[in-house]
Amino acid sequence: MSQSTSQPACGTQHLTKVFETGETPVVAVDDVSVTIERGSFSAIMGPSGSGKSTLMHCMAGLDRPSSGSVFIGTDNIAQLPEKVVTRVRRDKVGFVFQSFNLMPTLTAEQNILLPLELAGTKVDRQLFDQVVGSLGIGDRLGHRPSQLSGGQQQRVAVARALVTRPEVIFADEPTGALDQRTGTALLEYLQFCSREQGQTIIMVTHDAKAAAYADRALMLLDGRIVDDIAHPTAESVLAFLGSVAA
């Protein structure tokens, strides 16, 4: 049963992000306006450097836009003080980083539970077991990140983002380090979170087969959304990527 409704979970209005750090400014995200439906599963795709991670970081409140609005629910977080953005993020958002960002001195279980500990929230053991079981990391919970494979670390990072049952989950290439079997299990679980639990998923991926699990694929080129594919298939996504590579 899909719990998708027309009420937006998050979105942007004329979002632009310019990095001024180098000799010439880089426009990483260029005037992007997008609305993400509650309970939907969206993929963001595009060539390397097209602005996918920057767009996600701004949408999740991890980075400030140069101009424009960013909504999480009805809050325009671009206009809120950092302290309030941190609270909105803690209460509503889960983020899976491309580089995992696990704490090296903590075990897998401690890493997964860290957001709950920081928020002073009680652990939902049933949810913890469901997440850990679905991701197949139940037998690695006592290991520290350095004792885990890249794919296991990635799944711990995903579990950490899911264990607070956030309304919106941003995942930056969550299957990048996974083999086909564990990647498929993760994508099926994300689909379950969206369809059965009404959570909103936004996932950056380079993998056309992974994008086919989403309800929608946003195609980025030079910081702009140049295509918005409903019910993407691996073929429709590959056709787009082929056309921009040509």
How many other CB atoms are found less than 10 A from the CB of residue 212? 19
- Quote the CA–CA distance of 209 and 71 in Å, as a whole number: 29
Residue 26 or 226 with smaller CB distance to ligand ATP: 26
Q: Which of 228, 107, 115 is nearest to 169 (CA)?
A: 115
Q: Nearer Cβ to ligand ATP, position 53 or 182?
A: 53
**Would you say 194 and 200 are in contact if contact means Cβ atoms under 8 Å apart?**
yes
Minimum distance of ligand ATP from residue 97's CB (angstroms): 11
User: CB-wise, 38 or 52, nearer to ligand ATP?
Assistant: 52
Give 41 or 97: the residue with its C-beta nearer to ligand ATP: 97
Nearer to ligand ATP, 23 or 235 (CB): 23
Supply the DSSP symbol for 185: H
Residue 136 Cβ vs ligand ATP, minimum distance, rounded to whole Å? 26
Q: Which C-beta is closer to ligand ATP: that of 50 or that of 199? A: 50
The residue behind tokens 């498929």 is 184
The least distance separating ligand ATP from the CB of residue 25, rounded to whole angstroms, comes to 9
CA separation for the pair 154, 118 (Å, rounded): 21
User: Least distance to ligand ATP from the beta carbon of 243, Å?
Assistant: 17
Distance CA 185, CA 231 (A): 20
Buried b / exposed e over 154-187, threshold 16 CB at 10 Å, is bbbbbbbbbbbebbbbbbbbbbbbbeeebbebbb
Write out the residues near ligand ATP by the rule CB under 6 A: 19, 21, 26, 28, 46, 48-54
Q: Report the nearest approach of ligand ATP to the CB of residue 52 (Å).
A: 4
Least Å distance, CB 86 to ligand ATP, is 20
Best CA proximity match to 177, nearest among 58, 97, 95, 109: 97
Instruction: Specify the residue, 142 or 150, whose C-beta has the smaller distance to ligand ATP.
Output: 150
Min CB(207)–ligand ATP separation in Å = 12
Map residue 109 onto helix, strand or coil. helix
Q: Contact at 8 Å (CB) between 163 and 156? A: no
